[in-house]
Amino acid sequence: MIVKRKQEGSYIDYEQKGSVLTFRGGALEIDLAAQQAGYPVHIDVSADAGGRLVTGPAHRYVAEIDIPARVNGLSFKGSADDLGIVQAVRTTEPLDTEQVVLTLWAWEG
């Protein structure tokens, strides 16, 4: 995961296990692979006025997550049939979490 820091200060605790990104010890969990789509996905993580973490805009930003578009391809299965046709199968590459960008905003709390 590529981590960027928006400004100076302290930042919210986060942990990545596989494709799951967890904030503040489980207060908010996001399965990055489940959020991936055929186009780039942007997720805002904010804190509401009570300090609870939410996705989307709220009282103040905590983090932004940018997930790259799903990569599709074709693979060819077996040998050609009697007509010389090889069966093509559509494939989807698993999420490469090294390409996900996590931008952190200064956080106190």
Q: From residue 29, how far is each of 77, 80, 91 by CA, in Å?
A: 37, 46, 27
C-alpha span between 14 and 23 (Å, rounded): 4
Domain boundaries, the chain: 2-104
Residue-level length of the chain: 109
pTM of the model: 0.83
Partners of residue 88 on adjacent β-strands: 76
What's the pLDDT score for residue 108?
67
Q: What is the pLDDT of residues 2-45, one digit of tens each?
A: 999 998 999 999 999 999 999 999 999 999 999 999 999 999 99
